[in-house]
Structure 1
Amino acid sequence: MQIRKGTEADIPAIVELLKSSLGEGLIQKSERLWNWKHVENPHGASPVLVAEADGKVVGVRAFLRWQWVYKGQVLQAIRAVDTATHPDYQGKGIFKKLTLQGLADAKEDGIHLVYNTPNESSKPGYLKMGWVEMSRMALKLKINPFAYKRQAVPQAPSQDWRALATLLPKLANPIATTDQVQTFLSPAYLQWRYQDNPLFDYHFLSDYKSYVLFYRIKSHSFGQEMRVLDLLTDSKVFDKKAKSALAASFKQISNACFLTSASGRHFELASCVYSGMGLLPVMDKGPIVTLRNVSLQEDLFNKLSRQQNWGYTLGDMELF
């Protein structure tokens, strides 16, 4: 068996391996999705490793590139995401071999850290390979009992992505000046992340002057969820009138949903720009977050291992 870097020619075989190993599930596997996610990402193309045996791809490990900013320093990160082993080759240590080789390659490529959100079954394996558990993601939730089991999807306002594109360069994360880890934002990233995303239908609320709130509607058995993913403003013109307009648009969508969710960390740090998120306290009820140091100084990595130093949004952390 050979461990090597994946190439463009491997993509069809990789997609078939993902299908045979993982099934379609909630996220359908396709070459279009793979290319959008791992090739077209503005943060950079994903490092991909494959295990090859008997002339075919029997294992794959992809690491999604991501750029975080902390106290003015751009942190080059990778997120451990798409992984699969052919059913006939499971139990041969392929996952571990691919992961350890990925870490070695990451150090050579100047990557600072790895992060991911494992489940309870996979977490022990990561911890054995040097990952550390940060905590569960902090969430801010609002419950609307009057929309329980309501299946009607709230209608989004008119979506003029072209007009929004002219606004995006003027906007910033409202916590941009704080010393919190946050995604390195750019108009290209926002277009890739929300407008061009082939997986889900993302929507936004905007006055096309001073703010944009990206969200998506997720259906559950209990009703609809409004998931607040990113909120950006132009602090120079995001005044009382603009905030009132955002609150009114937000209320219209949120009130049609049983659940509204947002990042607890971002809400705590930028609560002044959030409207109508209810009285429930921020709770550490999200997925488990784990980190692996690659090339950071130990004291800096220790700081990053504490959730209070992060200002992530759900858009940063959503698995796709």
Structure 2
Amino acid sequence: MADLEIHPLQRQDEADVVELMRLALYGRDFPDLPGYWRWKHYDNPFGESFGLVARAGDQIVAVRAFMNWHLCGGGRLLRVGRAVDMAVHPEWRRRGVFERMTLALLEPMTAEGLVLTFNTPNAMSLAGYLKMGWAHPGRLPLRVKIRRPLRTTVRVGRTLLTRVIGGGVSQGGGGQALQGNVDNSRVLRLLRDPAVVELVQRAREAQLVAISPRSTAFRLRTALGQEYLEWHYGKNRWYPYAATYEAQGPAAALVIGRLRQRAGLVELLLTEVVTCPGRRGRALVARAAARLARETRADYLVTSALGGTPGALRGYIPVGRRGVDVTVRLLESTLTVDPSTWAGWAAGIGDFELF
């Protein structure tokens, strides 16, 4: 690779990088890829992404990008990286470019205080991450609640049911063509409701309280915040979301879900659940999820089996590790939470949605 020069990713590289992404990763039909790139790497409220480009002469032949991300765990706010985009021109594949650029980004991320990086590799890249020393918690464990058993069974048959439900959760559009003009303005308006803003603030404060390691809230999940929720769900033009809010006295719950069509069925992925500790909060989560399922006419619901609201999962059936594959690389050795196994996580589906 003597002719390959690696440089930090710059905004002026965008046009060439997007063209490479179309060629090597996303394909020509991905809607508004320049807008998607900017939303993901520049508009992210956690900060602009870390990135490198590789040039052969005047041509960009590879790009590697890690999103800035924040997790809460062990009563701490943790700056982490999220490996998302890696594209290599076909003529430069199988020359070690993936490994070289990935490892090269770890040094500046560590220098800026990031404590770990995680990602959701596909079947092709998983072996590469394991070779570089990433830990492998495995596929995200899921739970499912079937609302219309007869319709669901008739549509897909019993033998195919577990293949359809939850299969490939968060892996892109789930077989649907993505759009670049999805209107999530209703979700955005709900997120800006003063009562919801207050709930999000209280839930964020609860995340940062130093508590017992035996508590679910001690484990890792994305740091809640108003800007993050608005960016992820309200300003996302590529995936359709629905949301609802329930309150009773001081207790409240916000539930956000993503809709997909799978085998002729409407699947509702519960991507975000926001509440405060307590039985009333858990009961309101269950009520809000049921309401959202009715409003969206979902045939079944899918949620993470790691979530921090176990009392709200009554009626949900474990279907095993059928979510996205996750790998992790520690950049700091002083964490009080172990991210290398699912025992260290309390993450929901939204924490690992494919970006």
TM-score (norm. length: structure 2) = 0.78
The 3-state SS of whatever aligns with 1:295 is coil
Alpha-carbon distance change, 130 to 279 in structure 1, aligned in 2, over 3 angstroms: closer
Please name the residue that 1:233 is paired with.
275
- SS in structure 1 opposite 2:124? coil
- 1:243/1:197 Cα in 2 relative to 1: closer, same or farther (>3 Å)? closer
Determine if the alignment matches structure 1 residue 219 to structure 2 residue 247: no
**Unmatched 5+ stretches in structure 1:** 151-157
Q: How does 1:26-105 map to 2 (within 5 A)?
A: 28=31, 30-105=33-108
Q: Decide whether aligned partners of structure 1 residues 279 and 85 sit closer, same or farther in structure 2, where only a CA change above 3 A counts.
A: closer
Matched to 1:40, the amino acid is: D
Contact 1:264 1:282 in 2 (8 A): no
Query: Residue in 1 aligned with 2:346?
Result: 311
CA distance in 1, matches of 2:95, 2:275: 50
Select the residue among 2, 6, 17 that pairs with 1:14: 17
Shift of 1:189: 0.5
Alignment of 1:139 onto 2:167:
no
CA distance in 2, matches of 1:191, 1:184: 13
Change (3 A) 1:278 1:7: same
Structure 1 match to 2:288: 246
Task: Return the alpha-carbon distance in structure 1 between the equivalents of residues 85 and 63 of structure 2.
Answer: 8
Q: Check the 8 A contact 1:19/1:29 in 2, yes or no.
A: no
Percentage of pairs with the same residue: 29
Q: Which residue of 1 aligns with 2:197?
A: 169
How far did residue 184 of structure 1 move? 1.1
Between the two proteins, the alignment pairs up a number of residues equal to: 308
1:170-201, Cα deviation, whole Å (9 max, x unpaired): 12449836211121111011000100012112
- Residue deviations 1:23-75, cap 9 Å, x none? 43885461111111001111111101110112011100110111111112122
2:239 maps to which residue? Answer: 200
After superposition, the Cα gap between the structure-2 partners of 1:235 and 1:122, relative to the gap in structure 1 and judged at 3 Å, is closer
CA distance in 1, matches of 2:76, 2:332: 14
Q: Secondary structure at the match of 2:15?
A: helix
Q: 1:145: Cα distance to partner?
A: 3.1
- Match in the other structure for 1:280: 317
TM-score (norm 1): 0.85
Check conservation: 1:142, 1:280, Cα contact below 8 A: yes
Aligned to 1:155: none
Partner of 2:129: 126
Once residues 241 and 22 of structure 1 are traced to their aligned partners in structure 2, the CA distance between those partners, rounded to angstroms, is: 43
Q: Aligned with 1:130: secondary structure?
A: coil
Contact 1:263–1:314 at 8 Å: present in 2 too? yes
